[in-house]
Amino acid sequence: MLLDTILDARGRAAFLVGGVGALLHPRPASWLPLSCPAPDTARHARGFEAISILPRQEAADAAGGIFLPPRDRPPSGPVMKYVRPGCGWPGMTTIGIIGAGNIGSQIARKAVELGYQVVMANSRGPETLADLLEELGGKASAATPAQAAAAADFAVVAVPLKAVRDIPAEPLAGKIVIDTTNYYWERDGHIADLDEGRITTSQLLQDHLPQSRIAKGFNHILAQEITTDGRPAGAEDRRALATASDFPEAAEQVARFYDEFGFDTVNIGSLAESWRVERDRPAYGVRQNAQELEANLAKAER
């Protein structure tokens, strides 16, 4: 039985199982079926590159002694970003992805590889997603947007901006929603508030989903690069992606997700500031590390 989880600043986790402990070393995100003291520890090893079985106290000491709150309470503060899917925060393992085109399907591919469950939705109905589901395998299912939203521990909105008003609000109430959308007036029609710089695309979604916690994510990377551009933490050429939110925990969630995907994060701040990473700004679509991204965000003009 899993008793406690301890994480240190480097993301190492000590799982204490009965009288013994297991120290898990982060990266890469792969399943390592090493010998474990209990099935629960094996399950929690997902996403870590190695596991050392140690006496309980030794594992706790090695990991630095930061306790993850009990499993029925979501973690908060700096611990949260080091939790891996299925690694002690079971409340955040199913992603509802509304929009199953370029961006939605690419996020799903990587998320499934990382161990998440994904529930995909589009406008034409779940039956039209059979090919994608076959490719994604057993961790993916298809549903209507309302069902995907209801099933989600957190959600991704990956539809054209003009379809944002169709996103079901009620089943997303209280949830973190990652907004990938961009404004292409050629496709979405003109929206005066955007044309005149009075609002951001993510604020539009936040206004539509007032009870959800919106965070910008994945909007300034080409869809195909989501599965090819990730690098291990600390790699010299690690790409950085921006987020923004009016809710710190939502930005934190995106940062954790980016990290799992192999990207660093630059937090722009509030949704009102997210125009800095919108279409045609210097940071848009560019491969850049965190320092370069910060510089490009600072250069942006409205």
Q: Which residues bind ligand NAP (CB under 6 A)?
A: 98-104, 121-124, 145, 158-161, 163, 166, 180-182, 184, 219, 222-223
Say if CB 111 and CB 156 are below 8 A apart.
no
Query: How many distinct helices (H) and strands (E) make up the chain?
Result: 10, 12
Q: Which one, 130 or 222, has the nearer CB to ligand NAP?
A: 222
Say if CB 162 and CB 188 are below 8 A apart.
yes
Q: Which one, 88 or 168, has the nearer CB to ligand NAP?
A: 168
Q: Return all residues near 73 (Cβ < 8 A) that are at least 6 apart.
A: none
Q: Which residues pair with 6 in a beta bridge?
A: 14, 67
DSSP-derived letter for residue 210 is T
CB of 66 to ligand NAP, least distance (A): 35
CB of 202 to ligand NAP, least distance (A): 11
CB of 33 to ligand NAP, least distance (A): 35
Q: What span, in angstroms and rounded, lies between the C-alpha atoms of 167 and 149?
A: 9
Q: What span, in angstroms and rounded, lies between the C-alpha atoms of 51 and 61?
A: 15
Q: Which one, 260 or 278, has the nearer CB to ligand NAP?
A: 278
Q: What span, in angstroms and rounded, lies between the C-alpha atoms of 172 and 96?
A: 10
Q: What span, in angstroms and rounded, lies between the C-alpha atoms of 22 and 15?
A: 5
CB of 211 to ligand NAP, least distance (A): 19
Q: Which one, 41 or 180, has the nearer CB to ligand NAP?
A: 180
CB of 220 to ligand NAP, least distance (A): 7
Q: Which one, 158 or 176, has the nearer CB to ligand NAP?
A: 158
Q: Which one, 66 or 254, has the nearer CB to ligand NAP?
A: 254
Q: Which one, 70 or 195, has the nearer CB to ligand NAP?
A: 195
CB of 168 to ligand NAP, least distance (A): 9
Query: How far lies 272's CA from each of 82, 123, 198, 286, in Å?
Result: 28, 29, 9, 22
- CA-based end-to-end distance of the chain: 55
CB of 112 to ligand NAP, least distance (A): 17
Q: Which one, 51 or 159, has the nearer CB to ligand NAP?
A: 159
Cα dihedral 238, 244, 248, 251 sign: negative
CB of 132 to ligand NAP, least distance (A): 9
Which residue is closest to ligand NAP by CB?
101
DSSP-derived letter for residue 159 is S
Q: Which residues pair with 16 in a beta bridge?
A: 4, 21
Q: What span, in angstroms and rounded, lies between the C-alpha atoms of 144 and 157?
A: 13
